Amino acid sequence: MFKLGLIGCGRVVETGHTPALKRLAEDGLVEVAALSDPAQERRKTIGDALSVPENSRYENHTQMLESETLDFVDIALPHFLHQKVTIDCAKAGVNIISEKPLATNLAEADNIIKACDEAGVILAVLHNYRYNPAMRKALELAHAGEIGEVFLVRYEGLGGSHWHGTPSYDPDWRTKKARAGGGCLIDNAYHNIYIAREFMASAIVSVYAQIETYTRPIDVDDTALVLFRHENRGTTSIQVSWGVSAGGRGVREIHGKEGSIIFGREGNPLGLYKNSTGEWTYPQPQAEYENSFAGIMADILEAARSGGPVPTDGLEARKNLEAVMAAYESAGRKEVVKVNIPAPVS
């Protein structure tokens, strides 16, 4: 069983990581032995939920690293803190599970990857949307060739606000460039990008984006529209917003030369259309872990045990961040930006 220390006890930890870690502890995979957070009430909330001993709840990660013998840390902090804390953990010789994005820019990401390589520690990044049961099933179908070569991926997620953090720290840190590195693109669309890259299974070769702040008094983007062109001539179209209070219809579609996969069709988790039959079927997702964090963390821990590759390592997380940064560059320059961002290795 791996001993793990939590760094950060905010809202995503409470709603996502904590249920996952409780399940993995029940399965005998991990023990949450310690945690750190500057807010006493957050240490109590998460510490009590995970049965962390009182004397292993720390105000900061430095105290925890000095006092505890850990196999892993789970870092869930505002983006601007990732570089320092991750490098500190690497230097302490502890394996790392990090929330996305790996960093706020590519230079920071490179520093993190270098530090982990030099220390010989695992660096795994939580691209957890891949582990939603419906998404896992859809990826399985696409990789098995059920819809043929994918030529179009469409995502649309329009809402009126960002994901609020805990009041104990700063519930609006995602809307502040110095803390988040960007707005809805680096936060929400980041997930859509790595999923689209995996469905398309072809390198991104160019990016065109329009990114603006329209309706909210914040210094990051509240609306982002991005087009990726892929090496196979396929297109990914992503639209996200924090500025549409009415909300959008929500679109998650993958279209191939032999069929389509659409999420949420007629109340089903996903629908599969085959051109050859002209009919829809509704495959039922099944997964050992319904919580996407539990699924990816279980695979990370298994990789550590077996010596195999983690689901998303630092280099792959950097590629996804490169796509995000290229979109910001395109919007700033108001022109297409040429890139060469390889597809994920499935």
- Residue by residue, DSSP assigns 35-80 as EE-S-HHHHHHHHHHTT--GGGEESSHHHHHHH---SEEEE---GG
Same domain, 111 and 199: no
Range of the domain at 112: 2-128
Could you report the per-residue pLDDT of 135-148, keeping only the tens digit for each?
A: 999 999 999 999 99
CA distances from 21 to 13, 85, 304 (A): 10, 21, 16
Label residue 287 by pLDDT band (50, 70, 90): confident
Label residue 346 by pLDDT band (50, 70, 90): low
User: Considering the chain, what percentage of its residues have pLDDT values greater than 90?
Assistant: 98
Which of 128, 148, 166 delimits the end of a domain?
128
Q: What number is the average pLDDT over the span 81-107?
A: 98
- Give domain status of residue 36, yes or no: yes
3-state DSSP assignment of residue 15:
helix
CA distances from 270 to 65, 199, 242, 278, 302 (A): 44, 15, 25, 16, 29
User: What CATH number does residue 58 fall under?
Assistant: 3.40.50.720
Of 10-19, 128-137, 252-261, 282-291, minimum mean pLDDT range? 282-291
Q: What number is the average pLDDT over the span 191-201?
A: 98
- Give domain status of residue 39, yes or no: yes
- Give domain status of residue 299, yes or no: no
Could you report the per-residue pLDDT of 32-83, keeping only the tens digit for each?
A: 999 999 999 999 999 999 999 999 999 999 999 999 999 999 999 999 999 9
DSSP state of 230: E
pLDDT at residue 165 is higher than 90: yes
Which of 90, 111, 128 delimits the end of a domain?
128
pLDDT at residue 22 is higher than 80: yes
Same domain, 123 and 133: no
- Give domain status of residue 51, yes or no: yes
- The answer to pTM > 0.75 is yes
Which of 76, 107, 128 delimits the end of a domain?
128
Q: What number is the average pLDDT over the span 246-255?
A: 95
Label residue 180 by pLDDT band (50, 70, 90): very high
Residue 72 contacts residue 2 (beta carbons within 8 Å): yes
- The total of structural domains in the chain comes to 2
Same domain, 263 and 210: yes
Q: What number is the average pLDDT over the span 144-157?
A: 98
Label residue 345 by pLDDT band (50, 70, 90): confident
- Give domain status of residue 297, yes or no: no
Instruction: Give the Cα separation of 311 and 98 in Å (integer).
Output: 12
CA distances from 265 to 35, 142, 171 (A): 41, 17, 34
